[in-house]
Structure 1
Amino acid sequence: MAATDWATPDTLTKLSQRPQDFELFQALRLIDAASPDLPQLGEAAGPHDESVRIGIDPSLVFAACDLSTDATSEEDSAGSSRTPRLHSRGFGLLGPHGPLPLSVTESIRASLLHEKDAAPLHFVEMLQHRMVMLFYRAYMQSRAAIQADRPDSDRFSLYLGAIFGRHPALADRDDFADSSRLYFTGRYAAGTRSAEALEAIIAHEFNVQVDITPFALGWLNLNPRVQTALGRPGEAAALGVATIVGERVQDRQSHIQLRLGPLPLYRFQQLLPSGEQFASLAAMVREFTRGELFCKVQLVLLRDEVPPTILGQQGCLGRVSWLGSPPSGQDAADAEFSLC
């Protein structure tokens, strides 16, 4: 979930007014997502670069909530509000929940209430703030949703990409979005890439009905040195053994065909070689098949969407032009193109 979708001013206002309604890490996530110009929590070089400070409520009662009811702000030398400050109750060094003896909490409370001396409290707060920041950094690094709040420092995408060999140096090198690859990490990481997996990816990514025909009939161009030519010796000159007439041979082993549709006209045009989605489809199929297969795509246009061909006004020869209408009850399935 992107930060702009949920870390809204209204939510931050509610956090400042009623912090007791929020969990500690929930509040930290809100503040971190709303501060994209500052380092992530736990990674700042100094206090002035942090978007929040964590204080302690030195209470001896068991906490009913993570945060106390007073959320304040530190002030700079000019008296203006600078850094939001949250007071933790349920997670910290002091109090009945903390690891330090209760006598330490009692001593700090006594100094604060009777001697007006906040130095002991501030010293413990310095330690607790750093502890909470490091704990939150470890917490967020293993959660994809939190990583997505700050795309520029999203490490979870690196973890997913590593599963199927997607190095960051390969990012954005073709027309197929990297976010879509990561979504289908399980499909890409499988040892065997099946037709069913390819159908699932195309159907989800392009929102179309997909049927894949394996072992589709295709042609393989022959290297000139293996073509039969009169008067030229070689392996291809053995009559009845390796003689081949022509420059290409039929092949089914290395060809597949995608049938997409039936489609409305606007989606049909998007998937044409001149359309905005054709390059993305080709890049996706090429990577999924590891470049080991030739692929053709057959686009099926809904019969009721077949446009009339009007000379000089409407129609693209070989792509969106038909003479007459398709046979009754049948969609237009004439458009076939080489994909990769």
Structure 2
Amino acid sequence: MFPIVRGAEARAPGLPGVGLARRPDQNITDLVQVPTLAFPDSTLDEVEVRNGRARIGGFWFGLTGPMGPLPSHMTEFAVFERRYAKKRPFGRWLDPLSGPMLQFFFRAWADSQLAAQADRLDYDRFADHVARLTGATEGVSPSSSRAAPGQARVHYAALFASRRSAGAIEDAMTHLLGQPVTILEYQLRWWSIEADNQTRLGRSFSGLGNQVMLGGRAKVTWDASRVVIRARARADYDALLPSGPRFRILSEALDAFAPSHLEWDVALEVAGKHARPARLDGSTRLGWTGWIGQTGDDAVRGDAHLRRSTMVRPMTDPMLRKV
């Protein structure tokens, strides 16, 4: 019973789950017990489809049968009626009584099976528990049109609940993009010093050998990392560019996986055999794929660098731009 009812439930997302319908016309399928005094090897007996809804009959637990609460002679009568009578008033009277109990039995089983809950996103209670525990869907509404929706983020719940090390982010990005990803930590960056923290002779931060800082910027490496993505082919490289279909996925994934207090940029690499020189044939884009000169097949071109935009943009907009 479980596999066939589970398949029917997964294919009817617009109806309440089995055992959750409030009216009979909302049932995805009707479950009935076929009366018998034997213990058959297979519990499934018949499937009848009427008006687009299946009626599934099987040798399950119910009111009749060797394990049922009714006396054995009533089971014999139900078997005789089903086999020889043109009408089945007794059997049809038992079906509305045992059918809901069978649906509740399936609902109890499905609620205890993680895979069965994942068949219907609107009733995936286990995914909701994991999302609330790890914060995987924090800030993502179910109705938002994002490239990385909440259901996809639950797959990486372990990353959201951990310290988000470089190795963990590498594995998640590699799995998501299908391209080799490497995290290079401690990248050199210019860090702007706020005016209140700059050295002012006789006023602030003017202790020689202790607090003096010349200029308004300083080179630091402790808060910057680089995500290096090696595209397998030219099509994969183009897809990761800002005008490509996978750029939005890359942008939202990096914004979700990477710690927000660190600076990140992205370097796209492609093998030299896929980086053909610029041509006036409409396939070259200046600043992105306008390579000059020949490159060996074993060489690697890594000219495209993307970084987080310093402008405040909506969550659905790309968070990376070319530098």
Structure 1 length-normalised TM: 0.76
TM-superposed CA distance for 1:336, in Å, is 2.3
Q: Does 1:189 align with 2:166?
A: no
CA contact (8 A) 1:301 1:332 kept: yes
Distance verdict in 2 for CA 1:173–1:252, change over 3 Å: farther
SS at match of 1:334: strand
Distance (whole Å) between structure 2 residues aligned to residue 48 and residue 174 of structure 1: 35
Instruction: Give the total of aligned pairs.
Output: 307
Partner of 1:19: none
**Superposed, which structure 2 residues align to 1:156-305 within 5 Å?**
156-167=126-137, 170-171=140-141, 172=144, 174-190=146-162, 192-229=163-200, 233-234=203-204, 236-261=205-230, 263-305=232-274
Matched with 2:103 is 133
1:309 to 274, 278, 290: 278
RMSD: 3.3
Task: Tell me if structure 2 keeps the 8 A contact 1:142–1:156.
Answer: no
Query: Hey, what's the Cα distance between the residues in 2 that align with 1:114 and 1:259?
Result: 74
Partners of 1:92 and 1:117 lie apart in 2 by 21
Structure 2: segments with no counterpart, 5+ residues: 309-319
Change (3 A) 1:170 1:330: same
Asked if structure 2 preserves the Cα contact closer than 8 Å seen for 1:55 and 1:86, the reply is: yes
Taking the aligned partners of 2:281 and 2:209, their CA distance within structure 1 comes to 54
Distance 1:168 1:102 in 2: 57
Deviation at 1:45, TM superposition (A): 1.3
Is the 2:33–2:60 Cα contact (8 Å) retained in structure 1? no
Unaligned runs of 5+ in 1: 1-23, 75-80
Counterpart of 2:313? none
Distance 1:103 1:120 in 2: 13
Residues 317/85 of structure 1: CA separation in 2 closer, same or farther (3 Å cut): closer
The counterpart of 1:40, out of the listed 17, 41, 45, is 17
Could you state the TM-score of these two structures normalised by the residue count of structure 2?
A: 0.80
Determine the C-alpha separation between the residues in 2 that align with 1:186 and 1:209: 20
**Aligned residues of 1:180 and 1:205 also touching (Cα < 8 A):** no
Report the Cα offset of residue 126 of structure 1: 2.4
2:212 partner SS: coil
Change (3 A) 1:256 1:131: same
Percent identity reads: 26
CA distance in 2, matches of 1:62, 1:329: 68
**Bigger shift: residues 212-221 or 92-101:** 92-101
Would the aligned equivalents of 1:298 and 1:336 in 2 still touch at CA under 8 Å?
yes
Residues 104, 185 of structure 1: CA spacing in aligned structure 2 closer, same or farther, 3 A cutoff?
farther
Shift of the 111–320 alpha-carbon distance from structure 1 to 2, 3 Å rule, reads: closer
Q: Summarize the Cα distance change of 1:178–1:111 in structure 2 as closer, same or farther, 3 Å threshold.
A: closer
**CA contact 2:164–2:259 (8 Å) conserved in 1:** no
Q: Residues 297-331 of structure 1: CA distance to partner in whole angstroms, max 9, x if unpaired? A: 12112112223235796644443233323478421
CA contact under 8 A between 1:63 and 1:90: conserved in structure 2?
Answer: no
Secondary structure, aligned partner of 1:319 = coil
Distance 1:108 1:274, change over 3 A: closer
Q: Does the alignment pair 1:90 with 2:53?
A: no
- C-alpha displacement of 1:199: 0.8
Work out whether residues 66 and 91 of structure 1, in 8 Å CA contact, stay in contact via their aligned partners in 2: no
Cα displacement (A) at 1:73: 5.9
Structure 2 CA distance for aligned equivalents of residues 82 and 310 of structure 1? 58
Quickly say closer, same or farther: Cα 1:166–1:213, change in 2 above 3 A.
closer
* Correspondence for 1:56: 33
Counterpart contact for 1:111–1:117, Cα < 8 Å:
yes
CA contact (8 A) 1:90 1:97 kept: no
